A and B are shown apart, each in its own frame.
Chain A
Amino acid sequence: MSFYDLNGKVALVTGAARGIGFETARQMHLRGASVAVLDLDAEEAREAAERIGPRAIGLAGDVTDQNAMFAAVAEVVEKLGGLDVAVANAGIAQKQFATARGISGEEWERVFEVDLLGVWRTVRAALPQIVERQGQMVVVSSVYAFANGMGNSPYAVAKAGVEALGRSLRVELAPHGASASVAYFGWVDTRLVQDAFDQEDGGRIRELSPDFLLKRITPDEAGAGLVRGIEQRAPRIFVPKWWRYVAAFRGLINPLLDKRMESDAKTRALIRDIDAKSVDSSPS
């Protein structure tokens, strides 16, 4: 497919005050796009936009509120003249690793609300413009779309759902000349991942995986990968790239990895500890 030139386009990125979202917005701006930086906090969004440059605006918006997302897109159209590319990036993780049994119901559903329904609300708000302008809808999934979500189930559930949404959308948008992409990131050195893995149990989860799977990339590399994918209208964007091969063999290796996880002594000990902690700390 031909090169999609970002120069002169208008892009909206959710969760863009920092991390992958910020880097994606910054790099699209470098390529000549006008960018709307959306985040929960208006002040942080504005500051991020200022750091990005003259064609960036900051917007406050909560992806769990559909009307707020409709209003945000309306504001982008009013201030920047339209919307060509929307990147549904905003996401959260649970505060600490916890089993589905031990996590509080509110926390589980909150992760789901932001990470899956938030993406869907962004999609709904952006699609009329994207279709009209033959633009692109990028949904940010994760390697958790296919990796086992042990200790992190709402995140895995949400990211598997995001992948399914993005794939469906791509087929549904094709007749309109618009497209959708699913982005899968491994471990990116963002606050979300630092918070998760720099705690004690995070370290133990790391020990269970081979080192090459755990190499953290910078938000800068994640943003660059995403922008390259947009320029190619790629159906799937993997950063680091070799996750593509893990994804390709998922149907064959997941049953084996899942089985190993069930019987592995270290994994079982870890689950027992996480379970004990989370079951204790959750209100009964």
Chain B
Amino acid sequence: MARYDLDGKVALVTGAARGIGFETARQLHLRGASVAVLDLDAEEAREAAERIGPRAFGVGADVTDEGGTLAAVAAVVDRFGGLDVAVANAGIAPPTVTTARTMPGEEWKRVVDVNLIGAWHTARAALPQVSERGGQIVFIGSIYSFANGLLASPYAVSKAGVEALGRALRAELAPLGASASVVYFGWVDTELVRDSLDHRDGGRGARILGEILPAFLLKRITPEEAGATIARALEERAPRAFAPPVWRYISAIRGLINPLLDRRMDRDAGIAAVVAEVEAAQRQRA
């Protein structure tokens, strides 16, 4: 497929005040696109847009509110005359690393609301413009789209759902000359990852992952690398992109290795001890 030139295009990135979203917006701007920086806090969105450059503008909106995403897209169209690319990046991690059984219901549901319903709202709001202009929608999947979601079930549930949405949408957009992509990240050195793995509960998350994954799969990439991956995926209209690249191969053999890995986890004494530990901590908190 011919290279999709971002120069002169209009892009909207959700969750773009910092992290992967900010880097994506910044790099699309560098390639000549006008960018709308959407975030929950209008002030932070505006500040981020200022740091990015002259063709960037900040919008405050909550992706869990369909009206909010519709209004944001209308504002972008008003400002830049249209919308070619939407990157549904806004996402959160569960505030507590614990089992589905002991995670407060509101926390569980909130993760799914932001990560999955938020991506749906973003796509819905962007679709009329994107399909009319032969544009693109990028969904942020994760290795949790196919890895076992133990102690992070709402995250895994939402990322598995986002992947399904992106794939279905790509097939549906093809006849219109528009497209959708799913970008899968491993660990990116963002606030989200540092908070949930390194800071909360004395770094329990990182310790648990060390228990489950070999070191080479724990390597963190920078937000810059993540943003570059998204920009490249857009230029190639790639159906899927992975960073670090090793996850592409793991994804390819997911159906074969997941039953084996899941089974190993079922029986792993170290994991059983961790589950007992987090559930006990959660009882104490309650």
Contacts and interface: CB of A to CB of B under 8 A. Distances in A.
Nearest to B171: A150
Interface stretch (A54-62, A71-79, A261-269): A261-269
Interface in A250-272: 250-252, 254-255, 258-259, 261-263, 267-269, 271-272
B174 A235 contact: no
Nearest to A98: B172
B160 interface: yes
B101 A272 contact: no
B15 to A, nearest CB: 20
B174 A167 contact: no
Contacts of A120: 100, 108-109, 157
A172 B127 contact: no
Q: Chain B CB within 10 Å — which of A153, A172, A250, A251 has the most?
A: A172
Contacts of B157: 116, 120, 161-162, 164-165, 168
B286 interface: no
B175 interface: yes
A169 interface: yes
B116 A161 contact: yes
B2 to A, nearest CB: 15
Interface stretch (B3-11, B40-48, B199-207, B252-260): B252-260
B124 A271 contact: no
A251 B171 contact: no
Contacts of B156: 164-165, 167-168
B276 interface: yes
Contacts of A149: 164-165, 167-168
B187 interface: no
B99 A172 contact: yes
A149 B108 CA distance: 25
Nearest to B178: A101
B272 to A, nearest CB: 4
A117 B106 CA distance: 12
Contact of B167 (A164, A170, A254): A254
A271 B171 contact: yes
B116 A171 contact: no
Given A116-B161, A251-B254, A251-B256, A165 B100 contact: yes
Interface residues of B, number: 63
B170 A171 contact: no
A161 B167 contact: no
Interface of A is mostly: helix
Contact of B170 (A131, A167, A262, A275): A262
A14 interface: no
Contact of A153 (B131, B164, B240, B275): B164
Interface in B59-106: 66, 99-101, 105
A172 B174 contact: no
Nearest to B252: A251
Contact of A148 (B167, B263, B265): B167
B136 interface: no
B169 A160 contact: no
A100 B255 contact: no
A175 B144 CA distance: 22
Given A100-B123, A271-B175, A161 B252 contact: no
Interface of B: 66, 99-101, 105, 108-109, 112, 116-117, 120, 123-124, 127-128, 131, 144, 146, 148-153, 156-165, 167-176, 239-240, 251-256, 258-259, 262-263, 265-267, 271-272, 275-276
Given A161-B161, A171-B148, A261-B174, 20 more contacts: A100-B165, A112-B117, A123-B100, A127-B101, A131-B101, A157-B161, A157-B162, A161-B112, A161-B160, A164-B157, A165-B157, A170-B266, A171-B271, A235-B266, A250-B255, A252-B255, A254-B167, A261-B171, A271-B171, A275-B176
